Amino acid sequence: MLTEGQVVVHERLGAEDQRLRRLVLKGPMALTAKAGQFVAIQVQDLALSSFDPLLRRPISIAGISQERDEITLLYRIVGRGTEILARAMCGDQLSVMGPLGNGFSLPEEGELWLVAGGIGVFPLYALAQSALARGLKVRLFWGGENQSFLESAGLSSWQALGIPNYLSTLDGSLGQKGLVTEQVQERLSQATSGGKISVATCGPKKMMQAVAELCVNFGVPVEVSLEERMGCAVGACLGCVCTLRDEMGNLIHKKVCQDGPVFRGKEVVWDETC
């Protein structure tokens, strides 16, 4: 869907990291959006240029309000495109393609564990909201550099959900010192065999690989949200191809923008992907 979204909120997400932004868009894309999908935003108009930057910027959907026809996007300024996007002001109309991709699937019952590394937590918030609305028990495992980062990246919003938060920081300033995967492994080893657990993860590649391998070892289904540089965002340019293994063990190639960004963790061939 190619449409327009009106900027209704655009603000810094936290005081510590000046590059984090919260952007709320009002438009018809909210009606069909689901957790794990993304939109591709054109920033040319903001740059006052007809062709530069040419490519749209893909950003994961972090929140969905179908009642208000709004989606929330959380992003970090990392290059020229997002620097230009940061100029958008309330009332501006942005050209939006989406929602794109397949999104996460929700289990019918049991617990949903969300495992995030850094700003990989952003697309998991919409999933948490959907899971809680279905009556599922949700747990968050989130790792970051330090307390300041976690607070800047929206920790208070997660705490407001009232779900268990298992936090890890590299310097030990908040939660457990170390990697978030260490807490996941510890909790999986303590989980009773009668409990039905599903996992969704987003973050750095090595973290997601470790989470996927843990889940396979414990017999827990896991979905991963892959990140790759995208050109067209609709599957035409083949710039975001990843490698998977099918049910027969054959290597196959899929497009992150169209077939993903969410895949089953056991399918991903990590050494050849992204």
Q: What's the pLDDT band for 92 if we cut at 50, 70, 90? A: very high
164, two tokens? 């268990």
Calpha distance 192→88 (Å, rounded): 49
Q: Are 265 and 211 in contact (CB under 8 A)?
A: yes
> What pLDDT sits at residue 239?
79
Could you give all domains of the chain from N- to C-terminal order, each with its CATH number?
2-100 (2.40.30.10), 104-225 (3.40.50.80), 228-274 (2.10.240)
Per residue, what are the HEC states of 105-130?
CCCCCCEEEEEEEHHHHHHHHHHHHH
> What pLDDT sits at residue 233?
74
Q: What's the pLDDT band for 193 if we cut at 50, 70, 90? A: low
Residue 81 labeled ligand binder = yes
Got the DSSP string for 196-223?
-EEEEEES-HHHHHHHHHHHHHHT--EE
pLDDT of 272 > 80? The answer is: no
Residue 82 labeled ligand binder = yes
Residue 75 labeled ligand binder = yes
Residue 261 labeled ligand binder = no
Residue 58 labeled ligand binder = yes
Residue 169 labeled ligand binder = no
> What pLDDT sits at residue 229?
75
